Amino acid sequence: MNVTIHYFAMLRERSGVDSEIVETSAVDARGLWEETNHRRKFGLDRAQFSVAVNDTFVEWNHALVDGDQLVFLPPVSGG
């Protein structure tokens, strides 16, 4: 299946792209994080991040379906 990953802030700079479409066999958000963290050599600790699918915060065991839009969110620092 194909999913789109959107990057913001630190992850956008590290990846060098705003978004990318990736083909994945990951079954859930956690699997896609592990795959992406490895492929892009982020070397980051998942515990620092949260994840959103289709603009909604979800748990890491959220099952992925074809066409999903994912965002891995770094710790927020607004306000």
H/E segment holding residue 31:
helix 29-39
Beta bridge partners of 3: 22
In contact, 37 and 46? CB cutoff 8 Å: yes
42 is a contact residue toward another protein (CB under 8 A): no
The minimum distance between CB 14 and another protein, in angstroms, equals 10
Return the number of other C-beta atoms located less than 10 Å from residue 17's C-beta: 12
Convert residues 56-75 into a mask of x (bound to another protein by CB under 8 A) and - (unbound): xx-------------x-xxx
* Binder among 1, 2, 4, 9 for another protein (CB under 8 A): 9
Task: Catalog residues that contact another protein under the rule CB under 8 A.
Answer: 6, 8-10, 12-13, 47-49, 52, 55-57, 71, 73-79
